[in-house]
Structure 1
């Protein structure tokens, strides 16, 4: 099952995930987000908008490759993959 690593910022809103080894059952990037939502209700909305599309300032990497399908999150995730969800902080 894929391992998931989150940006530090997300732990601010979902502190019960911090320090956990996050392993989910998923075969696509969208399934990873859905699995995280089951573990931490509300996290999916930080990652995706109301249409299920990846938010502008969020990136998902499967291994070292950034996903290509930001709208449907259909990129494949293998059982031994590491998935990194990075949320950029912006402002000035």
Structure 2
């Protein structure tokens, strides 16, 4: 199963353990995580269901550029990391 890990920063606000998901797409895996913790959705997605501007997701070490459909394919052994996007210098 794919594993979804969330930034430790969220632990200040929510219980965010790693989630195992049989999903084959990023969106479906995130929905599995949200099913176990509905409040998490608002930290990751905006009101249109798109990835928030301050969030970045890596699938198997590659940054996901699909911020709307979140249709990145997942393998059974995929690792997904949901992080805060940082800017500045």
- Shorter chain as denominator, the TM-score bin is 0.7 to 0.9
Q: Which moved more, 1:51-60 or 1:4-13?
A: 4-13
* TM-score, normalised by the number of residues in structure 1: 0.84
Residue segments in structure 2 that go unaligned for 5+ positions in a row: none
Moved >3 Å (runs of 4+): none
Q: Kindly indicate whether residue 19 of structure 2 is the aligned counterpart of residue 22 of structure 1.
A: yes
Post-superposition CA distance 1:48-68 (Å, at most 9, x none): 101111000101110111112
Alignment of 1:2 onto 2:32: no
- Residue 51 (structure 1) aligned with residue 48 (structure 2): yes
CA RMSD in angstroms comes to 1.6
Gaps of 5+ in 1: none
Number of equivalenced pairs: 87
